[in-house]
Amino acid sequence: MRIRCLLSSTTLLTTSLVAGCAFNQPAAEPTPTLDPQVFEQRIDQLEQHLAGRCDLQNVALQGQDNQIRALRSEVQAVGSLTRNLRADVERIAGEPTVVTTQCENDEKGLLYDKEVLGRSEWIGLPGIGTYLKARIDTGANTSSLSAKEITRFERDGENWVRFKLALNEDDVAVDQVRDEWIEAPIVRRVRITQAAGNDSRPVVSLPMTLGSINEQVEFTLNDRTHLNYPVLLGRRFMMDIAVIDVAQTYIHPRPEFPGGAPSEQAGKDEAGDDEEDSAETSE
């Protein structure tokens, strides 16, 4: 009997405990439902996020592609330089080669800025006021002007010279200056070597025109009436400004001066000028 009661009590206690546990356990919360509009918003946000990441990745890929292209160009340039350097080394190490260059045309060569003169030309002497015939002679160093009655004098402590032009009747010049006195300072003296011997002559500097040339020219003074030309132009005048074409004469027009003939009439005065003066050189 006692044993049965104990078993009943134990059974009742166990049942109470199980019932108590079931009674005290909280109930499970219901699963919330997702609104369709909220769902669409989240999907759009996710798509925008993914698109932004894709754009960043595309920008990064484009930058890498540009760097690759730049590196490829630099590698090609280095390769070209290396090949050229190798060729230069091989050429230096090999036999020397002779490189021939074709002469440039006159427009780009040494004659580009030089005036072409014939073997005889008209010159102008603006300080005297006349034109004269001149023979171009590269064998003479200093130019020469035909002069007479050469008189040396002193002015302000300097040596000067007074002279007249020494002209023949056949020499073409402005008539009114034939007997005029001309004065100029003596620049220096030169020694002239001729077949008859040596001679020391004064040198004066006078403005002279020939075509487009307008220069101060040094002239030795001596009587040239026994020669065909009253003026001789030497290589000192021509240096760096002119070259000579010996096949031509009177390339440039005759200058004009008051009292002189027009340049258009120079042709008749140029006839018969093929004779050459006797050679003379200066030192």
Q: Give the predicted TM-score (pTM) of the model.
A: 0.59
Query: For 226-270, what is each residue's pLDDT tens digit?
Result: 999 999 999 999 888 899 999 999 999 999 999 999 999 998 888
Query: For 105-155, what is each residue's pLDDT tens digit?
Result: 555 555 667 899 999 999 999 999 999 999 999 888 999 999 999 999 999
pLDDT at 224 over 80: yes
Query: For 44-54, what is each residue's pLDDT tens digit?
Result: 888 888 888 88
Query: For 159-194, what is each residue's pLDDT tens digit?
Result: 999 999 999 999 999 999 999 999 999 999 988 776
Domains and CATH numbers, the chain: 115-275 (2.40.70.10)
pLDDT at 17 over 70: no
CA–CA gap between residue 222 and residue 143 (Å, rounded):
11
CA–CA gap between residue 163 and residue 226 (Å, rounded):
18
Mean of per-residue pLDDT scores for the chain: 81
